[in-house]
Structure 1
């Protein structure tokens, strides 16, 4: 009888050990929001902005052929531009980018050694970028100021 009691106790103990080791393997870590935002940013080239403004008004230059293509990951990357109107290289030229915050609402672009923080709104089918050009190296007037580019 004592042997049966010991066997029963061993079975109960073994069952408890098995049940305690089973179950949740822990929660999966929450996905990093920058992974999704960077995927939306880099999934395709952004062509022909629907809106280009300087200081809230219509921008100088013909931006109808402008395109920008971001490559990289949540840790940043590079961007290439084409169709920039002559004399507007202070606004856009090829460069690098990184996220300026953990939510992806700020993108820091670096072109020609100058860093510029851009307020960004990014989804899978739209991109809005607002930034300040504080100093112009070109002779074209109207380059400095608050710039807004919207792509759909």
Structure 2
């Protein structure tokens, strides 16, 4: 009887260890790592942080904040008046090329190249083709250098 109890205990321990380890060896994908790195609130980095068509536009974007979530969505605040087509108030994004984790596509069709330079710095580069004929002339190349507090 004692021998049976010992075998039962050993079997239970083996099953417990095996069940705790099953599935946990899976490594996150490169896209999942990018999403994890982006998931926070970003603000304008000090210096020449917003460049439009090669010119420093940082002063106009001083209050800009961009928040990414782990559900591949984003919200923004502090967008200058008339520039909602550059950064809509909210949206989602996908990875259009499975081989390029540094390229995302916003739900409005804008492709953004991402360069994560550190845990607290990211660079977003994109071209906006405003077909709506905006009076503000928002079409062109943008580069946002963003920083986070964490």
TM-score greater than 0.5 by the shorter chain: yes
2-structure distance, mates of 1:139, 1:60:
20
The aligned counterpart of 2:110 is 116
Q: Which runs of 4+ in 1 moved over 6 A?
A: none
SS of alignment partner, residue 61 of structure 2 = coil
Q: 1:106 to 1:59 in 2, by over 3 A?
A: same
The one of 87, 91, 94 equivalent to 1:92 is 87
Deviation at 1:151, TM superposition (A): 0.8
The aligned counterpart of 2:16 is none
**Structure 1: tracts of 5 or more residues without a match:** 1-24
Q: 1:72 to 1:29 in 2, by over 3 A?
A: closer
The aligned counterpart of 2:124 is 129
* Structure 1 position 39 matched with structure 2 position 36: yes
2-structure distance, mates of 1:136, 1:124:
35
What's the Cα RMSD here?
2.2
The aligned counterpart of 1:18 is none
Q: Tell me which structure has the larger Cα radius of gyration.
A: 1
Q: 1:60 to 1:124 in 2, by over 3 A?
A: closer
Aligned residues: 118
Q: 1:53 to 1:95 in 2, by over 3 A?
A: same
